[in-house]
Amino acid sequence: MPRSVHCVLLKREAEGLDRPPYPGELGRRIYEQVSKEAWAQWLRHQTLLINEYRLTPIEPKARKFLEAEMEKFFFGTGSQAPQGYQPPEQ
């Protein structure tokens, strides 16, 4: 039976993550309050940030930036796409 959480992003009950997706206190908060669906949305947004800002995730500065954006995405005002970003036409 899947674990259920009241997702802070989706504002409804949804299937929870199987384990904390990130270390430390932030990972624990995400595990307790974020659904699998919302986590998938973050992964897409994180990929956009990495590509548009040309980040190297193993660099400490990039990791710190992504962690701050993750915090904003789930628990703050929301993480925005880079200024001037235009999604590709489909």
Q: Is the pLDDT of residue 1 over 80?
A: no
Domain chopping of the chain, boundaries: 4-75
**12: which DSSP letter?**
E
- pLDDT tens by residue, 20-73: 999 999 999 999 999 999 999 999 999 999 999 999 999 999 999 999 999 999
Tell me how crowded residue 34 is: count the other CB atoms within 10 A of its CB: 25
CA-wise closest residue to 42 among 59, 15, 64, 67 = 67
Q: Is the pLDDT of residue 7 over 80?
A: yes
pLDDT of residue 27: 97
pLDDT of residue 89: 82
Q: Is 18 left (phi over 0), alpha (psi -120 to 50) or beta?
A: alpha
Amino acid at 48: L
What fold does the segment set 4-75 form as a domain? YggX-like (1.10.3880)
pTM score: 0.91
pLDDT of residue 37: 98
